[in-house]
Chains A and B, each alone.
Chain A
């Protein structure tokens, strides 16, 4: 070990800010100043804190920097690394980091899923192993029967993190019970919910945790083949997962006779081709089979008739990442986090007008208020919060009256606030609910696969109505028609896309009815966003 360690975040968001470039320059300077034997560089995933720059930490000094340019790197190398004088101007103040973020992270942020993200080099399997990686697999293969693994996962109360919250253990058990010559394990990494990027950061920051869990799942249900279906645009995730799979084969965690147990498991990556609907599990299976991603009629469900008609477990990335710690530490440990109905933690994507945008992992049951104000740092420029989208595009739009709702898989049923895929999109009053509703319905109209009429036509009709309304030509009856569309698509659609349109549509129309009515009665958009045609007002969005 070298005396000093520099950690640099190279997750996608940091890469946007030049992280790769900075690392190269850092390496160059370290060579130039002959610091090779003194300083180690570790490229890691997100540290979960977002500033205006790339996060960089110097140990053992425990100093965190926010780097925005190569000149900043130069300063850090020549001053801090060479002379031992921290560059105060670039340092992230301790009160901001240590008190607000670090301290709360340690006390309140509970890292189960993100246990390694930001702490290890995701492209180095040894670092994963050094942090108990593949220990759970070893435990399973050497000490547990498949039935015991199922019991563990069931007892933990883990529920699917892809949005629907179905109990994972039950899903595995259904699949295990079916007799078949071939079964499959599929990881849903098609993350398409606008506002969500947690799966990407998990795959980029800790790919082995997903792979290990899929092998464990295969052992538990009797499957010997797995597929990870990754969104085509997620280049970084694809690279890291592929590298991890290759290493896992080399170390004998994948392939034949894994760790001398006699169990075989093979894993393949498939890339998505740009269709939101392919995140729906049966559409995703169709897509792996090389077809158009149109959802299948359910039942039968994937545990009995899945990929190529064979029994298949399909789980979300975050769901899988929970499994190794559950196996190692036990179901009771897992249940000590979160709420009774939804144990464990949830990874949220905090986006929109919050000060600190990024991902954060907290116990289930954390309130929307805490997410926005404690972890997100409140709103940019101290603006007032007006509307919050929770759970993603298929989630709910709520007003500030629902900030204290504790989020879990029952909060939609109990309070009308959806946890979905964990998006918290905070909006101040320079947005307009009608305009946002239009954008949302345009999204659904575009992504509807067209297989069934209520969804295909309902979304189109909703777009037309909202377009009219945003031009100031709406009628009061339109509100009833919108609600009607919501009910009909929910009742009569084939798959989850159509069936869940009512959630965003009803929540925005009902919680922001005042805004909709004003669009009908007033002579201009109350938020100055929509261009009303009747009085020729130009769009002045701020």
Chain B
């Protein structure tokens, strides 16, 4: 798979450029990981190793940080990530039933990508849009407010074809 190789190399190069631009200091670790996850989609041990070397810190430290923060993932996620808020304001408005419906429709478990790799469903804490509770966030910016379980199939339909990166 020569193609994949070159994509991989290209991504590593882009990551290195980013590190150069902000400075290779240990306190930049989180920013670098954020960039890496944006580029690669998740943080494989290879990527973590690379970052550890670039910043001159032990891999164990990188791994510690990666596993601490919810945002980072060491496993691939779905191409389209659907976050369902279970913060209190959403929960009392039925966020849990929206979550159940998503899992049911897609036949998957939380955090696990669907078989075709298109979707993954994540239960998250308050998204800071509580006046629209219950809230669903698709990708980074597509918010859906006052979501009812019956709206779930329509939301899924919208992203069936979407290719991310």
**A interface vs B, CB < 8 Å?**
12-13, 15-17, 50, 191-197, 200, 231-235, 270-276, 287-294, 308, 349-353, 357-358, 389, 393, 423, 425, 427, 431, 436, 439-440, 443, 446-447, 449, 541
Contact = CB atoms under 8 A, between A and B. Distances in A.
Q: Which A-B residue pairs are the 7 nearest by beta carbons?
A: A194-B87, A274-B70, A357-B131, A194-B126, A290-B29, A274-B71, A273-B69
Interface in B66-86: 68-72, 86
B64 interface: yes
B129 A276 contact: no
Given A273-B33, A440-B88, A16 B129 contact: yes
A354 to B, nearest CB: 9
Contacts of A193: 126
B143 A389 contact: no
A274 B91 CA distance: 19
Contacts of B93: 352
B69 A431 contact: no
B128 A233 contact: yes
A13 B129 CA distance: 6
Interface in B88-147: 88-89, 91-94, 97, 125-133, 135, 137, 140-141, 143-145
B34 interface: yes
B128 A196 contact: yes
A352 B94 CA distance: 11
Contact of B130 (A17, A231, A234, A357): A357
A271 B31 contact: yes
Given A275-B68, A288-B27, A357-B130, A16 B143 contact: yes
Contacts of B27: 288-290, 308
Interface string B41-55: 000000000000000
Contact of A234 (B91, B128, B131): B128
B10 interface: no
Interface of B: 25-31, 33-34, 61, 64-65, 68-72, 86-89, 91-94, 97, 125-133, 135, 137, 140-141, 143-145
B71 A431 contact: no
Given A194-B130, A439-B91, A232 B71 contact: yes
A13 B31 CA distance: 27
B126 A192 contact: yes
Given A194-B130, A273-B33, A276-B125, 12 more contacts: A16-B135, A194-B125, A272-B71, A288-B27, A290-B27, A393-B87, A427-B92, A431-B92, A436-B88, A436-B92, A439-B86, A541-B94
B68 A293 contact: yes
Contact of A439 (B33, B88, B130, B144): B88
Given A192-B125, A352-B92, A275 B130 contact: no
A290 B58 CA distance: 13
B69 A351 contact: no
Nearest to A430: B92
18 contacts: A12-B128, A15-B143, A195-B126, A195-B130, A197-B131, A232-B71, A235-B140, A272-B71, A274-B70, A287-B30, A290-B26, A290-B29, A308-B27, A351-B133, A353-B92, A431-B92, A436-B92, A446-B125
Contact of B30 (A290, A349, A389): A290
Nearest to A427: B92
A276 B25 CA distance: 25
A352 B60 CA distance: 43
Nearest to B137: A233
Contacts of A541: 94, 97
A529 to B, nearest CB: 10
B89 A352 contact: yes
